[in-house]
Chains A and B, each alone.
Chain A
């Protein structure tokens, strides 16, 4: 966990129009870095691009892609990515896309569950699998969730995807450690974003700006796993201590 000078390469962000990703991008833009934004809507990408250029980004490139469409995503990662990487090198990747499914509404609907896994599980794994071998000296940061630390009846569909990503990242981190590809697992708790617009807000909610600062800091410090804000590490530590025989009877 020593601090290294990140190169001055561009930052590639998947799910760049999500609230947290947008705030991360603003911080890099203010530092004069170049950005590459990937998200579904061209219109929204254009709005974010203008903002980042005004805030000082060296350059902003964009690609409109549906990240839940795995075949086209793979094509993009195998072809377009390399051309763009040659044009202006990328040394940091942030995987920030995801959906929060309504557990109660879909828990008995397999097709809905599978669809959420395309976006929340398979798509991040595909990106990491395709890009890790080409990012020697760089960082791949993936936003997972504290929900991935323990399965709960209220949120296990989302939690299992995020927990699966975390476990995969652990293996990839181990595999590429010697080649200097750094794999960062970011586990935010509750963040006040559109994803949680329908959830009652409590004192544990963090602002997207706060979480974005934590991400930029963790990338710079080459951390392996970060909980954002930090107190979630302790909350999850306690939750993980509860014996399963007792945990299964709780309504969490």
Chain B
């Protein structure tokens, strides 16, 4: 970082995927009472929480990032109703640390607790309970927003509801969220009763999903995207429910936080077809029985990767690209099969492939990603043109089947694809704060959008 005076520093910032890396100013916000400052004609701003977006959704090349890490205060909490109002920079880790001992849990939990509340809203995140609870935005009761022209304005599902629909999944572009009010979910215990079922082909995943979604609140599967013999899509299906309390003190239990850390970026050759293949085989074979039952604390159950700090360094300094799509699927597994086949042929999908069937609860945001269908999520080390070529083929498949790709994970979807995936984007564009922009937004709207 180099000093620029007035608390702003110019920095090369990358997102979690470490691709791309761009230069911008960083301004650290300290107080929700601080004014946003006069709009500037030459520089746009973008709120930046924990930087866990994978691509360029949390970057603003040549502009300014408003870092919200210090805006992590609680405004109010009602232990009777579970309604929490907090500043948008509060991480879900801190939120859980605060709420779980009091018997409250996140209504929707993503794959990492190291994201901010504001980020959870701005990407309208989903979790293993999508088929029951829908997206995070469905549990948001209100948002205090600060906009460059109107100043402070509050919105929610019942008031200023169009602004609310724009802000949920709005990628931080509708203004700076000062506080977020969310309805937490009552729990008796921080533990989950979990069952892991082995499946040896993608068809079986679909049977398990149909059968499990009725009886289990949380379901997700890991799928092998390297091997295709004898069948494509072997994996492990995980399903769980909140456990009943076994003792009154159980809510105070804390699973030990992260112990491991990836200390440096791995060299390029560490990840290849063979090492990844071996990893997938070991992961699949470590469970010997068909069905395994266990009782797990929420940390290992929801956030296994959080146990390894900086796991993104495994991909080396060139970073990685994540691909997450949803494709409609009414008894038709051909779309997901074809995508899987393409990925297997490429050979370098990594160990983090996840598959889940979304439910049909409507997502509240104009740009919300979750919709009925099957979602597949996996990552690839960034190998330049070859990887970008794969992504363009995958994008074509998703377009062909009428699906969508997830902006929070994306570093390369085309504007044409974005506009087809998110047909309400023009309505959304009218709610964007003209002072706010991101590298992602400019990439997917370049040349099409008439700036106000």
Contacts and interface: CB of A to CB of B under 8 A. Distances in A.
Interface of A: 19, 43-44, 47-48, 50-51, 54-55, 194, 197-201
14 contacts: A19-B70, A43-B31, A43-B33, A44-B33, A47-B32, A47-B73, A50-B75, A51-B74, A54-B75, A54-B76, A194-B7, A198-B3, A200-B2, A201-B1
A200 B1 contact: yes
Contacts of B217: none
B74 A50 contact: yes
Interface in B19-38: 28, 30-33
A201 B3 CA distance: 11
A12 B307 CA distance: 37
B98 interface: yes
* Most chain A beta-carbon neighbours within 10 Å: one of B2, B7, B70: B70
Given A44-B31, A44-B33, A197 B9 contact: yes
B274 interface: no
B77 A54 contact: yes
Contacts, number: 40
A110 to B, nearest CB: 24
B313 to A, nearest CB: 15
Given A197-B9, A197-B28, A48 B73 contact: yes
Nearest to B4: A198
A55 B98 contact: yes
Contacts of B30: 19, 194
A100 to B, nearest CB: 13
Contacts of B32: 47
A43 B98 CA distance: 24
Chain B, interface residues (CB within 8 Å), range: 10 to 19
A197 B7 CA distance: 6
B7 to A, nearest CB: 5
A198 B2 CA distance: 8
B72 to A, nearest CB: 9
B25 to A, nearest CB: 12
Nearest to B31: A44
Most chain-A Cβ atoms within 10 A of its Cβ — which of B5, B74, B75? B74
A195 to B, nearest CB: 11
Nearest to B7: A197
A198 B9 contact: yes
Interface of B: 1-3, 5, 7, 9, 28, 30-33, 70, 73-77, 98
A194 B30 CA distance: 8
A98 to B, nearest CB: 16
Contacts of B73: 47-48, 50-51
Given A19-B70, A197-B7, 5 more contacts: A47-B33, A50-B73, A54-B76, A55-B98, A200-B3
Nearest to B27: A197
Nearest to B73: A51
Contacts of A197: 7, 9, 28
B74 A194 contact: no
Contacts of B3: 198-200
Nearest to B28: A197
Contacts of B76: 50, 54
A116 to B, nearest CB: 19
A162 to B, nearest CB: 22
From A194, A198, A199, name the one whose CB has the most chain B CB atoms within 10 angstroms. A198
B28 A51 contact: no
Contacts of A201: 1
Contacts of A199: 3
Nearest to A198: B3
| A-B interface, 3 closest residue pairs, ranked by CB to CB distance from nearest | A51-B73, A54-B74, A54-B77
Nearest to A46: B33
Contacts of A200: 1-3
A145 to B, nearest CB: 20
Contacts of B33: 43-44, 47
A200 B12 CA distance: 13
Nearest to B33: A43
Q: Indicate the member of A19, A194, A197 with the most B CB atoms within 10 Å.
A: A197
A194 B9 contact: no
B48 to A, nearest CB: 15
A51 to B, nearest CB: 4
Contacts of A50: 73-76
Contacts of A55: 74, 98
B6 to A, nearest CB: 9
A150 to B, nearest CB: 24
B420 to A, nearest CB: 42
Contacts of B70: 19, 194
A51 B75 CA distance: 6
Nearest to A201: B1
A235 B7 CA distance: 28
A50 B77 CA distance: 10
A48 B285 CA distance: 51
A54 to B, nearest CB: 4
Given A47-B73, A50-B75, A198 B31 contact: no
A32 to B, nearest CB: 12
A43 B1 CA distance: 31
A123 B32 CA distance: 28
Nearest to B1: A200
A47 B33 CA distance: 9
Interface centre among B7, B73, B77, B98 (most CB of A within 10 A): B73
Contacts of A54: 74-77
Contact of A47 (B2, B31, B98): B31
Contacts of A19: 30, 70
